[in-house]
Amino acid sequence: MRVQGLKRAAAGVAVLSAVLLAGASGPASAAPAPAAGADLSRCTAAGSLCVWEGAFTGRWALYEDLGTACVTAPFGVLATVNMTDRRVEFYRTADCTGTPAHSEPSLGLHSWTSAGALYSFRAV
């Protein structure tokens, strides 16, 4: 199991390296606030969660030390890298109500452009 997690983390680093080389817009604001002065390379740090408004393109936000409270995204989220030690549930609503539309495992990265934007999330 640990090897699989390391492979997923390595894949995340590879994807983020490609994003860094291609260039991306700066971080967006949110409440609770994403990390100030966020550097995209911090998305691969242990304990971080990064979300994008496109398939790892466009605006992005970095969250560190994510608690269990509901977070309203600063934009519709279509991709994520979850380097936390918990699963993160994403919702179609702005207040984490209803059935989660996407569940991102610890050390996971995915985009779901065909499924549509998600507007809130919480670590569980």
Q: pLDDT category, 82, cuts 50, 70, 90?
A: very high
Element (H, E) at 123: strand 118-123
Distance CA 24, CA 11 (A): 19
Nearest to 23, CA basis, from 47, 62, 59: 59
**Beta-carbon count within 10 A of 86 CB:** 16
Q: How confident is the model at residue 4 (pLDDT cuts 50, 70, 90)?
A: low
The predicted pLDDT at position 29 comes to 38
| CA nearest to 117, candidates 86, 94, 87 | 94
Q: CA separation (Å) from 3 to 13, 30, 88, 107, 116? A: 15, 34, 21, 11, 31
* Structural domains for the chain: 2-123 (2.60.20.10)
Q: Using one digit for the tens of pLDDT, what is the confidence trace for 15-73?
A: 444 443 344 444 443 435 555 556 788 899 999 999 999 999 999 999 998 999 999 99
pLDDT mean across residues, the chain: 80
Measured distance CA(60)–CA(27) in Å, rounded: 5
pLDDT above 90: residue 120: yes
Task: Determine contact, residues 83/11, Cβ cutoff 8 Å.
Answer: no
* Both tokens assigned to 112: 């779901």
pLDDT at 88: 97
